[in-house]
């Protein structure tokens, strides 16, 4: 059996009376694109800091490519590049200097062509001599990614890498992260954009209250949710939804009504017949399967919103 990229065994961590992590067990395999999801306060940041060796757990152990993050901190940390959620930078250096300095912290004196590759891939080539203070927020976030990858780590941990950036930049960062993974890098992603996790991740762990609520492939997580949706367009915008269907109505806007139902108890034909029995004409319909957001909300009782990122 091949060695895991990250092995987390029974990790516990408390801050005073707050139990941030309550015995976390999970593994990230080499070459995986792994999603780590959870609402604010779930314990994600503490877990990431523990993996990076910045927080010493109260119990349990974390290994990065076989290196214990406490006893063999240097080797474990060398294997990881962490892109922090907060945009923190040194205002006295240029983009190139920031990236070279970071590589130097890990003993990399000559980046060779890797520097140019990073700058080109992140569309920073024309900013290499610009002072960090001159960059927009989106550009600074790109530099953070380049900085984390400066020493060519085997594992990249991306903590909300697209928080607060525009859609175009978000998609370009998705493409870059996917490219790194395609080239063999293990990627761990935390994000409040659930479509991001659904698009990119092979497996996903959902953490809530310091515990793993679910850990499975994306398809298996989606298969757990038996709810389905039926969106119908009524011929008459003023038509009332039959009273018998009221418990199924998730939302209504004008002529469009979206119903939610459990596929194991009901089916769309049955619901459509209720409209017909009430003499209400339906001009269009569309069925839908659950999204990762639906699964997340069912497991945690909360809605994950990008606006919640702190």
CB atoms within 10 A of CB 140: 18
Domain boundaries, the chain: 6-222, 226-288
What distance in Å separates the CA atoms of residue 229 and residue 157, rounded to the nearest whole number? 35
pLDDT tens per residue, range 5-55? 999 999 999 999 999 999 999 999 999 999 999 988 889 999 999 999 999
Residue 152 Rama label (left phi>0; alpha psi -120 to 50; beta): left
Q: What is the CATH number of domain 226-288?
A: 3.30.70.100
The percentage of the chain sitting over the pLDDT mark of 90, rounded to a whole number, equals 63
pLDDT tens per residue, range 208-248? 999 999 999 988 888 887 888 899 999 999 999 999 999 99
pTM over 0.75: yes
Would you state the CATH architecture of domain 6-222? 3-Layer(aba) Sandwich (3.40)
pLDDT tens per residue, range 95-153? 999 999 999 999 998 898 999 999 998 889 999 999 999 988 888 888 999 999 999 99
Q: Is 206 helix (H, G, I), strand (E, B) or coil?
A: strand
Q: Do domains 6-222 and 226-288 have the same CATH topology?
A: no
- Which candidate, 240, 229, 214, places its Cα nearest to that of 297? 214
What distance in Å separates the CA atoms of residue 299 and residue 31, rounded to the nearest whole number? 27
């Amino acid at each position: 059996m091949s060695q895991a990229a990250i092995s987390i065994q029974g990790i516990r961590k408390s801050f005073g009376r707050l139990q941030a992590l309550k015995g976390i067990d999970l593994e990230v395999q080499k070459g995986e694109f792994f999603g780590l999801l959870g609402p604010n306060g779930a314990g994600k940041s503490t877990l990431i800091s523990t993996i990076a060796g910045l927080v010493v757990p109260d119990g349990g152990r974390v290994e990065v490519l076989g290196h214990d993050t406490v006893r063999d901190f240097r080797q474990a940390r060398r294997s990881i590049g962490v892109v922090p959620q907060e945009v923190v930078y040194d205002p006295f250096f240029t983009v190139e200097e920031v990236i070279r300095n970071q590589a130097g912290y890990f003993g990399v004196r000559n980046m060779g062509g890797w520097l140019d590759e990073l700058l080109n891939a992140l569309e920073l080539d024309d900013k290499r001599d610009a002072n960090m203070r001159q960059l927009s927020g989106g550009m600074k976030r790109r530099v953070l990614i380049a900085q984390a990858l400066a020493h060519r780590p085997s594992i990249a941990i991306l903590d909300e890498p697209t928080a607060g950036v525009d859609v175009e930049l978000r998609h370009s960062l998705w493409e870059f992260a996917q490219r790194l993974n395609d080239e063999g890098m293990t990627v761990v992603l935390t994000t409040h954009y659930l479509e991001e996790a659904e698009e990119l991740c092979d497996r996903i762990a959902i953490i809530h209250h310091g515990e793993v609520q679910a850990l499975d492939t994306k398809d298996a997580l989606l298969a757990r949710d038996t709810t389905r949706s039926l969106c119908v367009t009524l011929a008459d915008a003023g038509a009332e939804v039959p009273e018998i269907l009221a418990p199924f109505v998730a939302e209504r806007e004008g002529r469009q009504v979206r119903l939610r139902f459990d596929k194991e108890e009901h089916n769309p034909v049955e619901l459509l017949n209720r409209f017909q029995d009430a003499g209400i004409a339906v001009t269009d319909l569309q069925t839908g399967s659950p999204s990762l957001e639906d699964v997340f909300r069912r497991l945690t009782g909360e809605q994950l919103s990008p606006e919640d990122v702190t």
